[in-house]
Amino acid sequence: MIAVLPHLSTDRSPPAATAQPDPHPASQLLTITTHPAPPAATVLTVRGEVDALTSTQLRDHLHPHLRDTVPQVIIDLTDVGFFAAAGLTVLVNARQAAVAAGVTLCLVASTRPVLLPLRITGLDGMFDISPDLTHALLRAGCGSDG
């Protein structure tokens, strides 16, 4: 028995490879909103996952606020579902920048995904951590409706 193979033309180029979109772009994994809390603070609300992919997004949103434009920056991590070492690095660097600028940095955290990495590394003693945004705003002198 003889096998018959289909004729393959060699005069055509193979189809060009097309770039596939990233199925998990950082902008879908992490959102950060910023709003003033007069008279003394700015609040950054972080939602999603903070990891090696998204930590630069957090850094880029956070650092412009760590100048001496307001006395306090509050980072609300209440809606963060995953917090990796890259996020800890961003927070440590942010704290250093805040201290240099005379800005107080406060974290809002009450969930295990955020508190556990802070506790394990001992960084929970380095930051002012409030259990919710209301407490953080009151401590900043902004009232609860900031």
| CATH code of the domain containing 42 | 3.30.750.24
Decide if 87 is inside a domain.
Answer: yes
Q: Which residue has the higher pLDDT, 8 or 109?
A: 109
Q: pLDDT per residue over 50-92, tens digit each?
A: 999 999 999 999 999 998 678 999 999 999 999 999 999 999 9
Judge whether 42 lies within some domain: yes
Rounded Cα–Cα distance for residues 32 and 45 (Å) = 6
Structural domains of the chain, count: 1
**Domain of 58, in residue numbers:** 29-139
Whether residue 123 is contained in a domain is answered as yes
Helix (H) or strand (E) holding 79: strand 72-83
Indicate whether 8 belongs to any domain. Answer: no
**AA identity, residue 122:** G
Residue 2, domain member (yes or no): no
1 is a domain residue: no
The model's pLDDT over 4-21, given as tens digits with 9 standing for 90+, comes to 555 555 555 555 545 555
Between residues 42 and 22, the one the model is more confident about: 42
Asked whether 70 and 42 are in contact (CB, 8 A), the reply is yes
